Structure 1
Amino acid sequence: MLCVHQSASMASTQGQDVVVCQLCPNPVEHHCNLCHVDLCSPCTLKHLADKTNRHEIVEFINRKEGPVLPECDTHKKNRCEMYCRECCKPTCALCVTTTHKKHDFTDIGEIIENKKQQIFADMTELENVIVPKYRNLTPAFPSAEFDKAITAIQDQEDRICNLARGIGSKLRNEVTKLKRKSEQEYKEFQTLAMKTEIELNKIIQSNNEVIKADDATAIVSYKSRNEKFRDGIKKSDLSCPNFVPVLVKENQILDMFGKLQLQYSIISDKQRNALQLMETPVYLKEIQSPYGNRSELLRITCEGTGKLWVSGNNGTINQIDWDGSILKSINLSRNAVGLSLNVQQELVFFEGWDDTIVFKYENNSVMTLLELSNWQPRGLCHTVNGNLLVSMRSVVDARSRVVRYSGSTECQVIENDKRGKPLFSVHSPAVLLLTENGNGDICIADYTGNVVVVVNSSGILRFRYGGNKITRKKNKTFEPLHIVNDKKCHILIHNQFNNNVHIIDSDGNFIRYIGYLCDGGISVDTDHNLVVGESVTGKIRIIKYLE
């Protein structure tokens, strides 16, 4: 039984509170150095009864300061007083000569002290730098903006309803006028019929009197009046109105009504600013697409991260995952040479070079979205607010343009600059692939013109990029084919001539090249990775170039 030295072990001094046992309210007398528990005498015996751990009981005033050392995984009940740098784990004294023999060791106290310093430094940063950022970052919830949108929707609903009621009212008034006119004509017809009947009765009576009188003079002078009345009264052409309603479709109302436009959030802006170009891009993954054996890969567009839509020169479009497994497949009569996903992640595409139709893949079926008549689509791109941009070239005369659609309604045409000169090459059937940048600019890869044309959202020319000026003499040919943008508002351009990617900023300044084969299409996924396809092999590579 332990000796209890009351005067020595009682942890109390004059003017100070008594330190109590951690297991009961009694004053503390002892301390377990291995468990770091303050104990009174009765609780000390209870503590020693726990045989699952080693114990080292000392008087409270002789307690060891410091953290509880971990128990060795290999040599049970031994405390780890050393740290193996090679294995990055705590070890006991026996490990030094056995399982960790000849490894690089240090005293665990040094490691603990360094970690404490790191914790203190982190706490200082958290308290003084990081937490104030979150404390001060308390933007009010934009309830008014939501209410404003709801009010605008209600106002538009009222306007359309009022227009419909106005049209209905005009039609009802017109029918009412026709009804009154017809009623008047009908009354006049009835009056005339009655008068005529009276006149006819008088004629009949007169004829009867002639016969009864048997007067030769009256009979000889008789003239028939039947011819006048034989055809009856000419009926008025009364016509009753018949309203023929037009079939009202929801899509028509939606195109007329308008759509919601979602704005970029502050978080997206912060993420955009945090991303930086890596000095050396990193190859992450290779995917074998369904193409590359007897067919070639033509186009790629990412559906978030982990899914891709791809098309080839065998008349198919396939949705695949990052393992290359086919999730969906669309069989076409011709090759799909333009792909885009709308905000609902629905696929929009066109096929062939002489077609004038833009298609939409919805509910596992292909439907016509746009009929362009005398124009042939050459590129597709959906904007952040849900509009569809279609680049096109004319069938008959030599013209090229970009048209913005809201639903199926044409709402903007971009064709000429301020001087009336064409913005894009003409007299060519070549593609005009395009993308919308994060700042609202529209970027068009004019393959025939050997230039990338960038206009703002109003269609005003901002700049043209014809390749890197520094290396232009060495690499004379610039043939921009595929084009995408990223969260940094960089423009990534595939140069078909050299089969590499030019990265330029939103003002047209060259930044760098990325040298991966990408003639089978390029895209950017939601993790900001560049996705490039190799046409002949059908291989798709995921490249990390931002961090």
Structure 2
Amino acid sequence: MASSSTWAQDVITCDLCDNPTQQFCNSCQVSLCRGCINKHVESLKTQTHDIVPFKDRRELLVFSSCASHPNQKCEGHCQQCDVPVCFRCVTGPHSGHTVIDMSEMVQQMKEEIKKETEEIENLISRFIISGADIDKKISNLNEKFKTMEREGENMRKTWHKEVDNIFDTLQSTIRKMKDRRLRALRSHQSRLQDSGTKLECITKENKKILKSNKVSDATSYKSELKDFKDIPTDVDVKIPSLNINTVQGRELSIELGEYKATLTQTSLSSLTDEVSILSVRKLLDKAKVIVTISSGIKPLGAIICFGINEAWVQSQDKFIRRFDIHGSLKDKITTECKYYPGYISVTRQGELIYSDIQRRTVNIVRQGRIETLITLPRGWHPRGLCVTRSGDVLVDTCTPNGSHEKIVRYRGQTAVQEIDKDDCGQNIFKGGINGVLLEENNNGDICVSDLDANIVIVMDKTGRIRFRYNDQNGQFLRCVDDCGVLQGPAGLSVDSEGRLW
């Protein structure tokens, strides 16, 4: 029989033939044409038939025919045998069994089917929502792995740059060594040539005196031989050996005179000058002071190394001065600070930057001119500074009363990261009048000296705390090692060659 949804569109045909239907048997739920009415009644003589015009039809349950009794409809269900039964079955083989009306059973089953259908629909909705969530997770996963790939590529470039720096330095060192020795040889060669020329002139004059009969020529003669006897005829210019060694393909070490560099799978370091200002390569019981520099500045403030043999020094005045290892003043910057700069640092390009607490700015000195690099939001003031290997600037910022403190990472003039809470939502920094001093170590960790809390905090580059440290005896350790880990309150700094100032 055609479904009710198609009655308005399709011609309803007789269930016994292909002719259009005109009648309907309500008892059997069969569509009939006029020619098939008798055929239908004859085929089911034992049943009553309620045949009406098709438009007056009633939708009723259609019971199945009994397998044991032809022409009988199974209008009951035997609970004991779990089979459909007709009236004759009930009085026959199923006599005495519990039989329920098939209509009731169908109603119960439809209720169960309805509930199950609702559960299925709910399950489909959950699957659709979960599928959408998985789409988001796939998108996030792709984005995070793309980020990791970008970070890996950036790290590749960084390491390649570090390797290039080592070998650029090596080549520069080789050229400088060669130039110094060539100058020494050529200078001595020039001295020998000049001396030889002078000696040839003296020889000519002496031969003239030997041929002369004048007494005065002989008596006025003064020997100059002693001035030339001490001139060495040879000069020993030592050529250093270049030693390049590999250890099982995992480590490369280079040594040329005082220049040393080591490249491993996990670390890259470059050391020069075995004689340092302060030796911190080994853990010493007592620090060995190599050179003491008198700057004439009282009190000394922040110190940041510049190149190999120079450092910028900040004090409680408007000036930032640059001294060399011999104590000579090489440069002097007059800042626009109302009182004095908050802190100083140096970019990877060697440009000096300093914080101006009152103006809420971080300024940079370029070719002797002062420019504003970063302006902090209203209500926040900059203090400690650190320039990372990637070129970002880490700024210790605080509210005017010092009650709230955070480290902000700036990329150019844009703040890209704020660090102030730990994983539990607690303030990482105590806050107060002193603030924090910060540095990035060779692992890319952010090392912070919280002067108000008397503690050292080491965080990874995401701001997640790795560990905290303070001295067991209450004597606060503010400078940790030779990796540029920490700037101490007395203006400690480690230069690019691993020397502590």
Q: TM-score range by the shorter chain?
A: 0.3 to 0.5
> Larger RCO: Structure 1 or Structure 2 (Cα < 8 Å, ≥ 6 residues apart)?
1
Larger Rg belongs to: 2
TM score, norm. by length of structure 2: 0.43
Q: TM-score, normalised by structure 1?
A: 0.40
